[in-house]
Every structure is written in structure tokens, then in C-alpha cells.
Structure 1
Amino acid sequence: MLELRPNCERCDCDLPPDSKDARICTFECTFCVSCVEGPLQGVCPNCGGNFVPRPIRPASKLTNNPASTVRVRSKHTIVV
């Protein structure tokens, strides 16, 4: 099951479970669409993989399968 991380690892913007702006790579590195399409140019700075839209977990499933609340920041990304 996906963690559904709550933030972009680069700019730290909020990415709630129903966000259409969340992008993930094969290792679940999570970034916002603005960072992916902008500075990251579609390449994960952590693993070098590509990104896909993160699936949206239906609200009815969040009670028993909640999204992560742990905010992750990429150690490979420098925010200017």
C-alpha cells in the first residue's frame, strides 16, 4: 500500500491524499507537479527514475488505511 506522503520533498508544499498535483516515482519519492515539470525536469533527484501521477485513495478508505503524516525532504534537492 502506498504511503501517500503529505508533502513535496523539494518545496514542502502540502499534498493531501486527494491531491491531483502529487507525483511519485517507483520508490514513492513524492513531489508536486510544479517541481516535477519545472526544476526536476521529470527526473527523480533521489533515484533517477521518472514520475507518474500518484493515485488518489478514496476518502472512504482513509479511515482504515490513513495517509502518512511523516513529512519527507529530499537530501539531494537544493531549494533556492
Structure 2
Amino acid sequence: MGYNVKRVLIDQGSSADILFWETFEGMKIPNDRLIPYAGTLVGFAADQVIARGYADLETTFGQGAQMKTVVVRYLVVNSGV
């Protein structure tokens, strides 16, 4: 896809890697990459958040010689905002 994301929120205490639906759409990730998931997140964004599914996406961390690409399973959720 080739998107360069400059800023992210990382909660090291969280057991879920979250991607908001609006971001998923904005990155033009094909909808067929979304794997159905029937569930809600409780206590996220101060409310219950509906999960739209999850997607396994290659994610690159670092720069230059320190760069590493791994597949991360993101839970794609409505933002509730």
C-alpha cells in the first residue's frame, strides 16, 4: 500500500492492536482483507465500540538499518465519535 504513517498511539498495556474504520477506509485497504469478527470492545473510547472485523496487515517499524516489517493483526472498529 505504501502509506507513511507519522504518528500513532501505542498503548503497551493493551492486548489489542486497534485500527479505526475511518483509517481503514482512508488507506484504501480492500474490504476483502477484513475478516469478520462478531464482538464489541468494552472500556475502549469510554464506551462500547463495535468491531467490524480484523485484518492482518504488514506493518513496518523503525527506519534505515533498524527497520523491521511484521504482520500485525488489527481489530478494525467504529470510532464511536
Q: TM-score, normalised by structure 2?
A: 0.28
Q: TM-score, normalised by structure 1?
A: 0.29
| Structure with more strand by fraction | 2
